[in-house]
Amino acid sequence: MPSWPLTGAGCGAKEETRDYSVPGTLCGIRVDIKELTPFLPPGKKLSVKPDVSPSSTWCDVSVDGKLAVRTVQKWWQGGRDTAYYLRSQTLDRVEETAEEGRFVYSGWQGFGRTEDCVDAKYEQELYTGIQAYGSDHRDAEAVKRLIVSFTAEVEKSEGCDARAS
């Protein structure tokens, strides 16, 4: 069921719509449009803004100037689990897990650890995250699918190759 209000003709309420196209990539990483769309609010204009540093890539997706979704790729201490990493990203409780804790997620945010994206020099691993700040939509299974597929795409990206040894 959609997360935005739907109204019939003559009901007196305005139907909220998305007047923008949902991108298939966020800051160079492919995303599943079908899974992402319900987490994006109605509005007129969608913008995507990357923030890149040597240790991380943040990708903010805003609708009408308000943050809706954020993705992150971050090099973090190696040898730790995803639950340890997520504590640096959120104060909210995230209890659902997949693949023996490699992915941790809730109804609106998910975090993952890549495989084979390891920087031996700095003893770091590449972690991922997706957070749907601007949405009342909650769907833990959709977030799980998003974080798993997003992490797989990050593993194939230049971001993984650039520091992996």
* Ramachandran angles phi, psi of 31, nearest 5°: -130, 155
Q: What is the pLDDT of residue 148?
A: 97
Q: Could you count the other beta carbons within 10 Å of the beta carbon of residue 13?
A: 9
* Domain membership flag for residue 14: no
* Domain membership flag for residue 96: yes
* Domain membership flag for residue 91: yes
The answer to whether 28 touches 150, Cβ cutoff 8 Å, is no
* Domain membership flag for residue 97: yes
Structural domains in the chain (count): 1
pLDDT digits (tens, 9 = 90+) for 41-73: 999 999 999 999 999 999 999 999 999 999 999
- Domain of residue 105 covers 25-163
Q: How far is CA 101 from CA 70, 104, 105, 112, in A?
A: 21, 6, 10, 9
* Domain membership flag for residue 146: yes
* Ramachandran angles phi, psi of 124, nearest 5°: -125, 155
Provide the percentage of residues in the chain whose pLDDT is more than 90.
70
pLDDT digits (tens, 9 = 90+) for 71-102: 999 999 888 889 888 888 887 878 899 999 99
3-state secondary structure of 86: helix
Q: What is the pLDDT of residue 16?
A: 81
* Domain membership flag for residue 5: no
Mean pLDDT of the chain: 88
The Cα–Cα gap between 72 and 132 comes to: 12
* Domain membership flag for residue 105: yes
* Domain membership flag for residue 107: yes
